[in-house]
């Protein structure tokens, strides 16, 4: 999608810093290094909107991206680092709990997973958070280009089963390299943003 404007509004450490806006928001979550920044950049047709390759433990912030004063992507810091402290884990949980329970313009969650790997318990926790708060969920399996065509179907099935996706919970094969899936994901997200 081509936006005239696509910019980071704020990296918010806590709810006091959330932007004062009523744009509809979609949350993007996934394990660190899964390809989330690349996904944001590919979706917005930008090279460096979201920083690619952030280092472990660096970010505990929600990043709000304003797209043409119409939509907001809310980028959740990558989770799943082995060395995260218990205090950091609690803080992360609190941040997500605050967001999901208090942010009224939240419209949906996109969970980004690496197509090559089985989703983790952290991924399951994240998707269950969204289900609990009854916001629509979809899953993007990125890095599809790294899979042999013979493996693709099997991996998508594994992801679907591990996350126990219902019929309504879409799973999109995606690649920031080949641009596979961009149109399909936008086609799904626009009605969600506008719901
Ligand atoms: P993040 O930590 O989740 O934001 O992940 P990044 O977007 O920084 O990506 C992590 C690494 O995976 C980088 O080296 C990217 O170039 C690479 N990557 C991300 N998406 C894809 C993809 O669709 N295909 C391939 N081949 N590499 C990707």
Are 62 and 74 within 8 A, CB to CB?
A: yes
Going along the chain from its start, the domains and CATH numbers come out as 6-193 (3.40.50.300)
Give the number of the atom of ligand 1 that is nearest the alpha carbon of residue 53: 8
Atom of ligand 1 nearest to the CA of 52: 8
The predicted-structure confidence for 120-161, as pLDDT tens digits, reads as follows: 999 999 999 999 999 999 999 999 999 999 999 999 999 999
Gap from CA of 83 to ligand 1 centroid (Å): 21
Over residues 68-114, the pLDDT tens digits come to: 999 999 999 888 876 778 888 888 889 999 999 999 999 999 999 99
Predicted complex: ipTM over 0.90: yes
In whole angstroms, what is the distance from residue 76 CA to residue 34 CA? 12
| Tens-place pLDDT, residues 137-148 | 999 999 999 999
CA 31 to each of CA 22, 67, 75: distance values in angstroms, whole numbers, following the listed order: 28, 24, 12
What local confidence, expressed as pLDDT, does residue 52 receive? 55
pLDDT at 57 exceeding the cut of 50: no
Q: Quick one: pLDDT at residue 80?
A: 81
* Closest C-alpha to ligand 1, atom 24: 143
What would the mean pLDDT of 38-66 be, rounded to a whole number?
Answer: 80
């Amino acid at each position: 999608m081509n936006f005239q404007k696509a910019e980071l509004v704020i990296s918010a450490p806590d709810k006091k810093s959330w932007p004062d806006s009523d744009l509809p928001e979609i949350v993007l979550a996934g394990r660190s290094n899964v390809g989330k920044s690349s996904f944001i950049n590919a979706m917005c047709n930008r090279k460096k909107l979201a920083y690619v390759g952030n280092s472990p433990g660096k970010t505990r912030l929600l990043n709000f991206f304003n797209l043409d004063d119409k939509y907001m992507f809310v980028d959740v810091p990558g989770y799943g680092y082995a060395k995260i402290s218990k205090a950091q884990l609690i803080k992360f949980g609190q941040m997500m709990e605050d967001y999901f329970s208090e942010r009224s313009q939240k419209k949906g969650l996109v969970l980004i997973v690496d197509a090559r790997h089985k989703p983790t318990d952290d991924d399951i926790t994240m998707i269950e958070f969204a289900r609990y708060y009854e916001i629509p969920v979809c899953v993007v399996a990125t890095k599809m280009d790294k899979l042999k065509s013979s493996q693709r179907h099997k991996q998508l099935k594994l992801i679907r089963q591990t996350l126990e996706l219902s019929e309504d919970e879409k799973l999109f094969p995606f690649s920031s390299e080949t641009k596979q899936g961009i149109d399909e994901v936008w086609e799904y997200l626009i009605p969600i943003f506008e719901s």
